Amino acid sequence: MEIINFDKRNSLVSQFMMELRGVNIQSDTMRFRRNLARIGEIMAYEISQRLNYTAVDTTTPLGTAQCHTIADSVVLATILRAGIPFHEGFLNYFDNAENAFVSAYRKYKPGSDIFDIHIEYIASPRITGKTVIIADPMLATGSSMELAYQALLTKGKPACLHLAAVIASQQAIDMVQKHFPDNTTVWVGAIDPSLNPHSYIVPGLGDAGDLAYGDKE
């Protein structure tokens, strides 16, 4: 398994990460959503270099040019709701990709920080033999990502798997390395050291879903 941490090198991701984390900037919800999408676009470009391509002859006004087009079937999957703008960034680049959506949420036990992850909805094409990209901006414990993957496996077995996150905890990275197949590549904007008692990433950025779409009851 390969872990690609964009925080280890300077790029535009560094700028967008600073804006996503900053309390004085992230209050602009439109900008927050756009920065999630921008990081998705950059990761989509990086992942595109790992795909297989086919040469095609393309007719121009002055002749014929040999070009290359993606040969792999790509499925973009995300976990509702925080994943939607991040997912859109990938979809902006993978124009012809199929799409999958999984709902996952934390159900806390009354009066405690203990919770279970519940999956209630999945909409997905068949994924057998395809390249699957699962995009979820916050990889905190890794449990939502694992359950989403297990739900997607009811639609077949992918040929290649990419997990994309804006911020992950080290605990989640350790969990992914233990529970996901060897042909998985993890793309992450930054890996933060810890979780707080409520299982939010520290220093993280807060609740990505609330920051993108408003507080929930």
* Residue 61: inside a domain: no
* Residue 196: inside a domain: yes
DSSP state of 200: -
* Residue 162: inside a domain: yes
- Amino acid 8: pLDDT: 96
- Amino acid 113: pLDDT: 67
* Residue 57: inside a domain: no
Which residues are within 8 A (CB) of 190 and not within 5 positions of it... i.e. 6 or more apart? 5, 6, 7, 17, 166, 167, 168
What are the structure tokens assigned to 105, written together?
């949420």
* Residue 43: inside a domain: yes
Task: Say how many domains are in the chain.
Answer: 1
Length, in residues, of the chain: 217
* Residue 78: inside a domain: yes
Please report, for the domain that includes residue 158, its CATH number. Answer: 3.40.50.2020
Distances in Å between the Cα of 47 and the Cα atoms of 66, 69, 123, 129, 152 are: 22, 14, 23, 17, 20
Q: What is the pTM of this model?
A: 0.92
- Amino acid 122: pLDDT: 92
* Residue 27: inside a domain: yes
Q: Which residues does residue 190 pair with via DSSP β-bridges, in sequence order? A: 167
- Dihedral Cα 41, 44, 48, 54, nearest 10 deg: -80
Taking the C-alpha atoms of residue 102 and residue 143, their distance in angstroms, rounded to an integer, is 13
Cβ 167 vs Cβ 201: under 8 Å: yes
Q: What domain range is 105 assigned to?
A: 2-51+70-212
* Residue 56: inside a domain: no
Q: Which residues does residue 2 pair with via DSSP β-bridges, in sequence order? A: 185
Query: How confident is the prediction along the chain (217 residues), in pLDDT tens digits per residue?
Result: 999 999 999 999 999 999 999 999 999 999 999 999 999 999 999 999 999 999 999 999 999 999 999 999 999 999 988 899 999 999 999 999 999 999 876 666 677 666 666 778 899 999 999 999 999 999 999 988 998 999 999 999 999 999 999 999 999 999 999 999 999 999 999 999 999 988 899 999 999 999 999 887 7
